[in-house]
Amino acid sequence: MLKREDNELLVRVGPGTPMGDYLRRFWMPAMLPRELPKPDCDPVRLRLLGENLVAFRDSNGRIGVLDELCPHRRASLFYGRNEQCGLRCVYHGWKFDVDGNCVEQPSEPPHSNFKDKIKQRSYPAREWGGFIWVYMGDKAAMPELPQFEWALLPPENRWQAKWTYEANYAAGVEGELDSAHTGFLHDTKTPQAEMHATMAQAASYWTQDKAPQLTVQSTDYGFYYGSRRRYGEDRYYWRVTQWLLPFFAIIPMPKWPISCRAYVPIDDERTMVFNTSYNADGPLTKEDLAPLEAGIGPAPELIPGTFTPKLNASNLYGLDREVQRTRSYTGIYGINNQDRAVVESMGPICDRWNEHLGTSDIAVIAMRRRMLEEARALQRGEAPKAAADANLYQVRPLDIIAPVSDLKTLVDLHAARMRAAQRAA
């Protein structure tokens, strides 16, 4: 269980909160490039870490992220005109560039220098690796963008999506750090012939041993943890998941593609999830893309024109009790839908002080402790090391059957192979 005061520290992310200050020291995925498809396109409302913002792409293609409310009379800049390298408030014509400078005040006398005294709050934004990223922290401490392996790949090697999650960010991350649930929540009697080959292979491993042994290894970027299941007489099936500060997880699978997800807080109670499914060895195939685009894999099918999953609490995530009795453990179709159903059922902010955690929860416990330690360290003036070293993010998960039982040996061997492959490329 988690003390109430620790839970408050973990989930409160607004301006001036300890965790909010910590998260603001990292670059965060915030949008898909198609949301701002061309210069001078329509501005877009954006809410991050409890702040209401507006994003736009100016005439030169640069991206601006500003406080939504005009500093003049507090009208929303969402209704503004995006024109000639700036966003113009429609109330009195004040215009702001991507850096928040007030460049025009047509309602003031021509000789006035009042505009030079006005600065709208703005945040740096960059396109990188298929997402638009935003940095909301101290600009003097702004780090490089994290060098994820998938961000360095050609676009045809990855598939990306975004959706909303009706829970706080920590609850979403915790779901990714729980290998024990796969043998239950995702158990199915669906014939393997009807499943994507990689998912069928993974499912066959998960269900052989439903009480995996978990080991956590701390790192500069967060930690990796292994779940070890018995596989036959003398071998183990290992799933090694990477957790990267502050809210990224790279999930193992037996074959490419694998997926990285980021749980970016909209506010204390809602989250945006950014998924990248990728193959470091080559372009994604039609077979790879089929379950991704159908919403049965790591990302859900969305209501057209929104980022809201089609199956959600309002329709019980498509729960079919007859299917639950005869075909799947949950009666809910699709891995992501199953995950969201149980996590969102805990409420927007889970009462973690009423939990009774077991040995299958050690990675969840380790994540919470690390996040609390990191936020408190920043309060003491200690800058987060992970944010300062972009190359720490070049890691992979591991999914393997092996006679070796030592987690660190497995990961070291895997990392050596990864470095050799990168050198060869």
End-to-end Cα distance, the chain: 46
pLDDT value for 210: 73
- Amino acid identity for residue 245 in this structure: L
| Structural domain contains residue 22 | no
Position 166 confidence tier, pLDDT thresholds 50, 70, 90: very high
Instruction: State whether 155 and 212 are in the same domain.
Output: yes
Q: For the chain, what percentages of helix, strand and coil (3-state, to nearest 5) are there? A: 35, 25, 40
Task: Point out the domain boundary residue: 94, 124, 141.
Answer: 141
User: Is residue 296 scored above 60 in pLDDT?
Assistant: yes
d(CA 246, CA 15): 17
Residue 6 three-state SS: helix
Structurally, how many domains does the chain consist of? 2
Instruction: State whether 41 and 121 are in the same domain.
Output: yes
Q: Residue 369 half-sphere exposure, CB side, CA atoms within 13 Å? A: 10
Range of the domain at 287: 150-424
pLDDT value for 29: 98
Maximum separation of any 2 CA atoms in the chain, in Å: 86
What's the CATH number where 410 sits?
3.90.380.10
Instruction: State whether 223 and 334 are in the same domain.
Output: yes
Instruction: State whether 244 and 278 are in the same domain.
Output: yes
| Structural domain contains residue 16 | no
Residue 141 three-state SS: helix
pLDDT value for 402: 83
What's the CATH number where 73 sits?
2.102.10.10
Q: Which range (178-187, 265-274, 324-333) has the least confidence?
A: 178-187
- Amino acid identity for residue 181 in this structure: H
Strand ranges inside 145-203, DSSP E:
158-165
Position 185 confidence tier, pLDDT thresholds 50, 70, 90: confident
Residue 330 three-state SS: coil
Tokens encoding 139: 């600009």
Tokens encoding 41: 């396109």
Average pLDDT of the chain is: 91
Per-residue model confidence as pLDDT tens digits over 196-242: 556 666 666 666 667 788 889 999 999 999 888 888 778 888 889 99
Helix (H) / strand (E) containing 113 = none
In the block, residue with structure tokens 């945040």: 123
Helix (H), strand (E) counts: the chain: 11, 19
| Structural domain contains residue 344 | yes
| Structural domain contains residue 283 | yes
Task: Point out the domain boundary residue: 141, 164, 181.
Answer: 141
Task: Point out the domain boundary residue: 92, 115, 141.
Answer: 141
Residues with Cβ < 8 Å from 188, sequence gap 6 or more?
195, 203, 327, 328, 329
Instruction: State whether 78 and 183 are in the same domain.
Output: no
Instruction: State whether 171 and 248 are in the same domain.
Output: yes
Instruction: State whether 189 and 75 are in the same domain.
Output: no
The vertex-219 CA angle with 217 and 224, nearest 5°, equals 45
CA 313 to chain centroid: 21
Instruction: State whether 179 and 285 are in the same domain.
Output: yes
Per-residue model confidence as pLDDT tens digits over 325-343: 988 889 998 889 999 999 9
Tokens encoding 168: 């706080």
Q: Residue 278 half-sphere exposure, CB side, CA atoms within 13 Å? A: 25
Instruction: State whether 136 and 154 are in the same domain.
Output: no
Per-residue model confidence as pLDDT tens digits over 127-140: 999 999 999 999 99
Instruction: State whether 211 and 113 are in the same domain.
Output: no
| Structural domain contains residue 17 | no
